[in-house]
Structure 1
Amino acid sequence: MVKPLNNITYNWIHIKAIQEKHSQPYLVNTSRCQIARWPTFDEQVWPLYQNYTGFSLNCRHDIQQWLSIQRFNYTGVYVRFIPSAVAATVKCWANSFKRRTYDDMTVDYILPDIAVEVNQITYFNDTSDVRITCNVFTRTTHLKSFFDQLIRKPPTLLKQFKARQSRPVVSYASDGQPDIDSLPNILFVGIDSISRINFDRHFPSTTKLLDKYNFHTLYGYNKVGDNTFPNLVALLTGYYLDELWDESFVNWVYLNYFPFIWKDFKSKGFRTMLMEDAPDMATFNRFKLGFAEQPTDYYLRPFSSQIEEDIKYYCYLDKPETEVYFDYVYDFVSAMTDRKQKYFAFTFMARLTHDEVNNAGLVDPLTTHLFSKLFADNRRLLNDTVVIFFSDHGIRFGPIRTTLSGKYEERLPFMHLYLPDRYRINNINVSINQNRLTTPFDIHATLRHIVLGRPDTELRYGRSLFEEIPEQRSCQSIPIDDHWCSCQTTSQTITGNLSLVRPMAQFIVNSINKLLVDENYSHKCAELWLNTTVSAYEQRFDGKDNGVVVVVDNVTETLAIRQFSLTIVVNPSQALLEATISLNQISKQMTLNGEVSRINKYGDQSDCIDSHRLQKYCFCRNLLKK
């Protein structure tokens, strides 16, 4: 049921409507790329919109009204008990735990138990993760309640790193690169599956803060792969995923060899941190081994794996799970700032927004609270920090993906950047690049520019945002598969042209069936057949109207090739599939451009195989018997 619009949301929708009425029709309008400015609330999306903005998750936990466990400063834990609230006695103890080496899935608890006194501070100087367990005794029952809570303590300063006095100007070491004191901190705050348009729908309070602190928005920020993994790999390594990894590595290759950008900052003396929620679908662990050695100095997977069984309705005990992690972000930044220690922190929250497009509104008060604290006190904490507030892609499945707006949104996640004054003042290129076609590779190139003190001219992909993105940039020049490219204008529907559409729809089905055969999954996955074609559109790319334009050795050629986007339904899975097809006008040859997307959920239809790449296509044969 749609919740009634509160005043904040109503005013926000009204303001957005006025702004869009007087805006330019394109977010990006260059010679080789036009990205349309899609209405925030178009007629197809409005019926699907539910207003959760301003609403809070109800994480009430009765026992925590009179018994609570809290961090104290950086090394202490405080168990607060109100004896007047309940006739009971409480006994508590603590176990610390740590990640098992060469095992990203297991933690080891360290014995013996340590007694913890209530209403006193207990210090833990040699561990980061602590489980506090309390038994509550009453007169009538020997054991009334069993309660435990995990505490992730803020980082302590390791002995080999001394406190530093930061300097606001760039100075260079003997190798010609900036020294650590001259570099800014790097803070990523990522939220899964939120397009820029959906961010505009659901984050009015956060948007006010972004405007107040002069964040830059990349309106032409285009994903380069289907899901989280390929897009974060591009962002953090500067490579396409298939250049570093494939599914044959799943059961025997750890990911420590990836050239993560945080390694460059660590070599300068930065402390590094990697934090994700939802460990079962974590970026580097789902259908992967994860890491052999701990990948960063501070790594919260042991914590997230241990609280997983206590996550209920997006809550960990009396707090939203996302807030628990954001509290740690604040504590981490505070600790590093107090100790004058440079840091690179990458955080990514997935559970709350991964499956439900309207849950984005529940995150708005949480990000507002986080950024309000971080920017408080005259921006003391972020005075010399690059903040990258972003998503990996828009929502990938669900009712909104059957709309044209949803198709564009999946490809255009939000990307907001906060830059210290020394990178923003007298540099107009970042402002220019707000309305250019950009990708995760450009964020990586910008970080390389920062750590080197100059643009990295040896990168395969991407360009620093401190340089002007070329006006003639196109998806092909990056390159981005046509299937993911947002530089397109969709012409009239051709769904009714059966002689043209049906062969292309059948070609999609045949291609998927062949893929399942070639990958040796046809004995487990049923053969698919075409049910119906939902929609078909002809597409134009690169701002041209006469076919696909390519540039080879600076010579422009126009090919007799037409591009089409089709959405079909196949049986027996009832999968809703979306594909981009090139049709050669002369030879009539058809080609799939990039992956075929599945835009509805597949649930347990493909549990019989372990290929994440092919699960979206597979309908297990054993289900046919049922």
Structure 2
Amino acid sequence: MNPKRSLKRAALMLFSFFTVLALYLGTKSLSLTYSYSDFQYDFTTAELRPLDKECIFPEVNPFDPYILDIAGLKKGTLTCDGHFLPEITYIDGLSIRINASRAQIPSKLVICKYRNITRVPYKDNGFSFSQWSESFTESINITEEHEFIHVKCNDRQVTDYTLSNSFYSLVPKRAHLNALYKALLYKRRVEFKPKETLNIVAVALDGLPRHQMVRSMPKTYKLLTQEFKSFDFTMHGQTGDNTFPNMLSLLSANSYEEIKKWWSAKIPQDVFNLIWHDFENAGYRTLFTEDNPTKGGFYWTGNQFLYPQTSYWNRPLELAMEKEKDFLWKEGWCIGSRSIVEYHLDYLTRFLDTFPADPVACMTIISEITHLNIANAALVDDHIFNFYKILETKGHLNNSLVVFFSDHGSRWGKIRETHNGVVESRNPFLILTFPLWFLKKYPQIARNLETNTRRLTTHFDTRLTLLDILYFKAQEPTPPFKGKHGRCLFQEIPKNRTCADASIPEEHCLCGLKVEKYLNLTSPEVSILAKALLSAVKQKSDPENCEEYSLGKVLHVGVLDLPNISNKKSRISLTYSVRLSVEPGGAIFESTITMNPKTNETAIRGGIIRLNMYRGEVECQPSPSQQMYCYCKGNDENKQSVIAR
């Protein structure tokens, strides 16, 4: 007898029994499903379907000896001293002062001047300088409204010889706005009565997978997880391939697929209604900063905002420093005599120090160090460690939620080309640090957070958690538009949450992903699959400006064990992971492809990923989305590398 028919008959008998029992007892509600083994029978539809199962991440060893050998763990702390002009000026309250002892010439010969840097209205890529100030030899006063300043010092005797070249980000208090912020904060308290008010402090390292963070930042990781009792979300997934879609998930209510229906790069990004506006409307002062003003997450395709999205928006200064000849050096990791990490973290600390009694929300994204090579993460372990210790010493940890995260996993490099790299490419990190008093006061939230560190999460969940902090345990429905994606991490995430539930695109899903076997490259399926991937890449390439790709080498073809399918015999198509190189240029592409073994019909599942960087191949293409699939006609092999985010 057919086992499903027998199960169905038994289930119907049980249903009849419980129906009669329910009627007898006067029960008003009755579950209309019955579970048996790996299946569930739904009496309302008379269907037998597989039970949802727990999301199981692939098991890989982050401390595999080969991975450790190529992970860059022996790199020391990034320093920038001694290789640039000394910074002989400093900000002291409302004065710029000279420390001539660092100039290596008599103090009477040092002369300095400064100028302001401001944003050009409605032009996100525009900035302007004021006229130079009068010269000063000891100090000069500035006003409370000064924000971005460029200071140069010269030798009196050799006026064209620069002794010092410095840029400063200040945090003006803007006293004329105090009444507005206080009113908004008071309105929030009266209308919604939130139980707590915490600052939000967020620090991101671009493109750094969780395993690499754990491997290469042991001081920081130990401090956070052991001393500060932080929550490390081990099954964190990503919602897109690069920074832009993942930042949308974190800062807006929409996915990239959703905005593509009504937005193009020609439309100002102000339409995204980023989370900063919710914080501003609730009386928080906000700050955003990133270290690459032309290729950051919201700018990689030339997009722009009409208006600054936060109260403190240091993009004009970043643009000015980028234009200053030789000021950014060591691959952009150093800003003058300071490391780029120190510079941005000092700015966050100054912001927190400026408003010790007022709520603030601030974020910095540090891209340059890890975006191109995740092995560089070891360079910043001490910097991030010291930042947290400064927050602790100054008391900022006691009133802040600190979010340490990455936007997505690794996209290229030696580790990415390994089996570990397949997992790490889709597993960014997220570590949340709450005040210890908060966890003691709300033990159920602490328990849920701990549980959720072993559940499937994304930055849609991070966003909803930030909004929950904004109106924590409010007594009335709160105004922020939360959208249809994500769950607040204060609530327990279901154990059987799927990638679809978490809004993770299929091509980035890790649940249950494993390779059943790798095919011999002489197998007949290999040539069919390679041809399908090569054809898909060619379709994305611009034939007018780009050389036509040909197959270089098939690197691997793996048969994937698909998640959420209980009966493998019922599969119509098999699914493969295909990786190949092309010529000219040696680009390496990877995709997931399904193929019907009877008809050899193929289909690309999700997107195509490029695993190596664009080596001076793409100057003929303005759009990064097109650069990925191009080797320019007449390309000069010696051109400087152009790396697209």
TM-score, scaled to structure 1: 0.84
Aligned pair partner of 2:96 in 70, 73, 77: 77
- Please report how far the alpha carbon of residue 497 of structure 1 lies from its aligned counterpart in structure 2 after TM superposition: 5.3
Looking at structure 2, the residues matched to 200 and 508 of structure 1 have their Cα atoms a distance apart, in angstroms, of 34
Looking at structure 1, the residues matched to 280 and 75 of structure 2 have their Cα atoms a distance apart, in angstroms, of 38
Question: Is the alpha carbon distance of 1:210 and 1:142 closer, same or farther for their aligned partners in structure 2, counting shifts above 3 Å?
Answer: closer
CA contact (8 A) 1:79 1:121 kept: no
Task: For residue 547 of structure 2, give the secondary structure of its aligned residue in structure 1.
Answer: coil
Looking at structure 2, the residues matched to 625 and 98 of structure 1 have their Cα atoms a distance apart, in angstroms, of 39
Structure of larger gyration radius: 2
CA contact (8 A) 2:71 2:216 kept: no
Task: For residue 426 of structure 1, give the secondary structure of its aligned residue in structure 2.
Answer: helix
CA contact (8 A) 1:192 1:350 kept: yes
1:228 to 2:253 alignment: no
More moved, 198-207 vs 469-478: 469-478
Looking at structure 2, the residues matched to 203 and 598 of structure 1 have their Cα atoms a distance apart, in angstroms, of 27
CA contact (8 A) 2:88 2:99 kept: yes
Question: Is the alpha carbon distance of 1:61 and 1:46 closer, same or farther for their aligned partners in structure 2, counting shifts above 3 Å?
Answer: closer
Task: For residue 551 of structure 2, give the secondary structure of its aligned residue in structure 1.
Answer: strand
Aligned pair partner of 2:371 in 339, 342, 354: 354
Match of 1:467 in 2: 491
Question: Is the alpha carbon distance of 1:148 and 1:46 closer, same or farther for their aligned partners in structure 2, counting shifts above 3 Å?
Answer: closer
Looking at structure 1, the residues matched to 103 and 316 of structure 2 have their Cα atoms a distance apart, in angstroms, of 36
Match of 2:438 in 1: 422
CA contact (8 A) 1:34 1:543 kept: no
Looking at structure 2, the residues matched to 392 and 142 of structure 1 have their Cα atoms a distance apart, in angstroms, of 46
Task: For residue 329 of structure 1, give the secondary structure of its aligned residue in structure 2.
Answer: helix
Task: For residue 279 of structure 1, give the secondary structure of its aligned residue in structure 2.
Answer: coil
Cα offsets for 1:123-156 (capped at 9, x unmatched): 3322201111211134xx5654353211111241
- Please report how far the alpha carbon of residue 63 of structure 1 lies from its aligned counterpart in structure 2 after TM superposition: 4.5
Alpha-carbon RMSD across the aligned residues, in angstroms, is 2.9
Looking at structure 2, the residues matched to 469 and 200 of structure 1 have their Cα atoms a distance apart, in angstroms, of 24
AA partner of residue 197 (structure 2): L
- Please report how far the alpha carbon of residue 217 of structure 1 lies from its aligned counterpart in structure 2 after TM superposition: 0.4
Question: Is the alpha carbon distance of 1:81 and 1:581 closer, same or farther for their aligned partners in structure 2, counting shifts above 3 Å?
Answer: same
Looking at structure 1, the residues matched to 431 and 617 of structure 2 have their Cα atoms a distance apart, in angstroms, of 37
Task: For residue 63 of structure 2, give the secondary structure of its aligned residue in structure 1.
Answer: coil
CA contact (8 A) 1:53 1:364 kept: no
Match of 2:314 in 1: 300
CA contact (8 A) 2:85 2:163 kept: no
Task: For residue 303 of structure 2, give the secondary structure of its aligned residue in structure 1.
Answer: coil
- Please report how far the alpha carbon of residue 530 of structure 1 lies from its aligned counterpart in structure 2 after TM superposition: 1.8
Aligned pair partner of 2:56 in 34, 37, 50: 34
Looking at structure 2, the residues matched to 56 and 573 of structure 1 have their Cα atoms a distance apart, in angstroms, of 32
Looking at structure 2, the residues matched to 600 and 514 of structure 1 have their Cα atoms a distance apart, in angstroms, of 19
1:477 to 2:501 alignment: yes
- Please report how far the alpha carbon of residue 604 of structure 1 lies from its aligned counterpart in structure 2 after TM superposition: 2.3
Match of 1:509 in 2: 534
Aligned pair partner of 2:516 in 485, 491, 500: 491
Cα offsets for 1:264-293 (capped at 9, x unmatched): 111111111110002221222222232111
Aligned pair partner of 2:130 in 101, 110, 130: 110
Match of 1:447 in 2: 466
Task: For residue 112 of structure 2, give the secondary structure of its aligned residue in structure 1.
Answer: strand
Cα offsets for 1:154-176 (capped at 9, x unmatched): 241432225999xxxx997454x
Task: For residue 117 of structure 2, give the secondary structure of its aligned residue in structure 1.
Answer: strand
Looking at structure 1, the residues matched to 81 and 102 of structure 2 have their Cα atoms a distance apart, in angstroms, of 23
Cα offsets for 1:371-407 (capped at 9, x unmatched): 1101115xx2121211110011222112221101112
Task: For residue 114 of structure 1, give the secondary structure of its aligned residue in structure 2.
Answer: coil
AA partner of residue 580 (structure 1): T
| Structure 1: unaligned runs, 5 residues or longer | 1-29, 549-557
Looking at structure 2, the residues matched to 367 and 83 of structure 1 have their Cα atoms a distance apart, in angstroms, of 27
- Please report how far the alpha carbon of residue 99 of structure 1 lies from its aligned counterpart in structure 2 after TM superposition: 0.3
- How many aligned positions are there? 569
CA contact (8 A) 2:397 2:434 kept: no
Match of 2:34 in 1: none
Aligned pair partner of 2:390 in 373, 383, 387: 373
| Structure 2: unaligned runs, 5 residues or longer | 1-51, 639-645
AA partner of residue 286 (structure 2): T
Aligned pair partner of 2:296 in 265, 282, 298: 282
CA contact (8 A) 2:573 2:594 kept: yes
Match of 2:344 in 1: 325
Cα offsets for 1:437-483 (capped at 9, x unmatched): 11111111212323344698963211111111111111233332332
Matching of residues 301-316 of structure 1 within 5 Å: 301-308=315-322, 309=324, 310-313=327-330, 314-316=333-335
